Chain A
Amino acid sequence: MSSMLGKRAVSSFISLMVLIVLVFFLSRLTGDPAALYLPVDASEAMRDNFREIHGLNDPVLVQFTHYITDLVCFDFGDSLRKARPALEVVLDSFTWTLQLALITMALVSAAAIALGSLAAFHVGSWLDRLASGLSLIGASAPDFWIAIVGIVLFSVTLGWLPTSGTGTVWHWVLPIAVLFIRPFGLILQVVRGSMITALGSAYVKTARAKGVRNRPVIFVHTLRNAMLPVITVIGDQAAALLNGAVVVETIFGFPGVGKLMIDSILQRDFNVILAAIMVTALAIFLMNLLIDIAYALLDPRIRT
């Protein structure tokens, strides 16, 4: 197990490095920040001064070596837009996204496992059809459109929920509801399929034949084995939640890392883009690690 972790860490590190090098050079091709941050009538001397202060006058390769040497000392540079350390800016917004993702994934997992198992016990029932209908909608619905329709319905027409921003509990309802839909549909499908397989397996039939009652069969024999593929999907979906977060945070004005990334890209705030990429990549790596540990806890065969 530990050798596998080491391999995983090395390959993740290489992936991250490739990504950083690509983004570093490509982002500098998008244009000159001085054109964005200084007034239109700023003199060439002022622009030059701005570039000099932020080290943008050096050749790109020199800038890159500076960046990497600073990075080794955990210095991610400063944000152009906020004049604060980039890492600080990223971590601030990352905690918002993390909360959003954790709450959403907790709700999604609980709901999907409950409904998916029920659907698997009663294959072909109305519950089962409801479950497949829900997962079909989850896989088909564009999240930005759901968000807009939600705003029109619940904020504008009914006036129940705020349209955007943060502050009260009510501000969280719509973003979580929109983020909920896609992973819910997918995980629901996997839970259902995996439970059906487990219920039809030889060890469950044996247990039933031996007269084990329904409840122990479900909780001791079936659920534990059926959870293995489910955990993998939950992990994948938690990472994919960041995709949805970009859209949802932009629409609802939520100060998370998705919105920060879009804003920094549009504002050519290079240091923040890079720091945000590194922080999210690290978070995804840690989450995969958790998934592996959960896997090992559930399946003793993997531990060796």
Chain B
Amino acid sequence: MATPTTDDTKAPGALRRYARMLWADKLACAAALFLLMMLLFAVFGPTLLDGAASKQNLRARNAAPFTLERGFLYLLGGDALGRPLLARIIVAAQNTLVIAAGAVAASMAVGATLGLIAGYAGRTTGEVIMRLADVIMSFPSLLLAVIVLYMLEPSIGNLVLVLAITRIPIYLRTTRAEVLEVRERMFVQAAQVMGASTLRIIFRHILPVILPTLLTIATLDFAFVMLAESALSFLGIGIQPPEITWGLMVSQGRQYLTSAWWLAFWPGLAIILTTMSLNLLSSWMRIALNPTQRWRLELGGKRND
């Protein structure tokens, strides 16, 4: 089954078009650059800096930030065991982003598939799937994660699993609602009349219409999942040392709040800047991926929403 890539033939043009639209929204542009930097950290950070980030230097215990006398890596100070905070934040980017990306990808794949089925299949199948979503939705997601995670062993895989399960209903409900609306439109009915198979209708005609919405939600949800993961790690039931994530770093720095605020401050700032960038990018995507809204970004970047 060929995935719908209608823009494929004019890919360079489309790419330039999106780049220009990104340039038109300076905040989203900055956000995209920041996220790109975090992505590079996550990919290359551990291989380049793993040694430096785990090497203890007792002379640099809780070293104050903003001095270069111990070298560039101590620019943000040292932690309780004298490890350079900057290096640790860069290395922790990998776990933090991998967990969030894994959870978002898994919940989107499962949620969208179930949503397509619930929207396109008969009523009873749809009802059963929706009741499943209700079970998950009926209880605050973080509490659910806390309960399940304590019963499973806290590991990266289980954390991804738990976070993914709590987020499935979001994609499921959105997809189903959109499918119910789109399937009544003329082009879908035309395809049905012309004898297209169900799979072809779903993948070729329905999915492309709802994909932008799903991607926008996924970007927003990435931020939410990151916050949830860091909260779990902060509570001590997420990632366990010696693995590190930003949330765990905040939790470790908490005991030294009064004497060395930077231990908890910098990793928290990394979380905030990343989630903020994701939010900005998501609101840009909402306009850029919508053909009827696009002109706002293409007309000299004057935003008047």
Question: Hey, which bits of chain A sit against chain B, CB under 8 A?
Answer: 11-12, 14-16, 18-19, 23, 26-27, 29-30, 123-124, 136-137, 139-145, 148-149, 151-152, 156, 239-240, 242-243, 246-247, 250, 258, 261-262, 265-266, 273, 277, 280-281, 284
Give Cα distance in the complex from A132 to B257, angstroms: 31
A246 touches B138 (CB 8 A): no
A148 and B147 in contact, given A243-B142, A281-B138 (Cβ under 8 angstroms): no
Q: Which of A145, A281, A284 contacts B272 (CB 8 A)?
A: A145
Interface 9-residue window, one of B39-47, B229-237, B287-295? B229-237
A124 touches B261 (CB 8 A): no
B272 touches A141 (CB 8 A): yes
B279 touches A136 (CB 8 A): yes
By secondary structure, the B interface counts as helix
Task: Say yes or no for B135: interface residue by CB 8 A criterion.
Answer: yes
Task: Say yes or no for B141: interface residue by CB 8 A criterion.
Answer: yes
Which chain B residues lie closer than 8 Å to A141 at the CB level?
272, 275
A19 touches B139 (CB 8 A): yes
| Number of residue pairs A-B, CB distance < 8 angstroms | 121
Which chain B residues lie closer than 8 Å to A16 at the CB level?
138
Question: Hey, which bits of chain B sit against chain A, CB under 8 A?
Answer: 131, 134-135, 138-143, 146-148, 150-151, 220, 223, 227, 230-231, 234-235, 247, 250-251, 254, 257-258, 261, 264-265, 268, 271-272, 275-276, 278-280, 304-305
Measured CB to CB, the closest approach of chain A to B249, in angstroms, equals 11
A152 and B261 in contact, given A139-B223, A141-B272, A242-B140 (Cβ under 8 angstroms): yes
A262 touches B140 (CB 8 A): no
Which chain A residues lie closer than 8 Å to B258 at the CB level?
152, 156
Q: A18-B135, A145-B264 are in contact. List 13 more A-B contacts (CB 8 A).
A: A14-B135, A15-B138, A30-B151, A124-B304, A141-B272, A142-B230, A148-B254, A148-B257, A152-B261, A247-B231, A277-B147, A280-B139, A284-B140
B234 touches A247 (CB 8 A): yes
Give Cα distance in the complex from A147 to B251, angstroms: 12
Which chain A residues lie closer than 8 Å to B254 at the CB level?
148
Give Cα distance in the complex from A29 to B151, angstroms: 7
Measured CB to CB, the closest approach of chain A to B144, in angstroms, equals 8
Which residue of B is nearest A26, CB measured? Answer: B151
Which chain A residues lie closer than 8 Å to B231 at the CB level?
142-144, 243, 246-247
A239 and B140 in contact, given A139-B275, A261-B146 (Cβ under 8 angstroms): yes
B150 touches A30 (CB 8 A): yes
Subset of 24 A-B contacts with CB under 8 Å: A11-B131, A14-B131, A19-B139, A30-B150, A30-B151, A124-B304, A139-B279, A140-B276, A140-B278, A142-B230, A142-B268, A145-B271, A148-B254, A152-B257, A156-B258, A242-B142, A243-B140, A243-B141, A250-B235, A261-B146, A261-B147, A277-B147, A281-B138, A284-B138
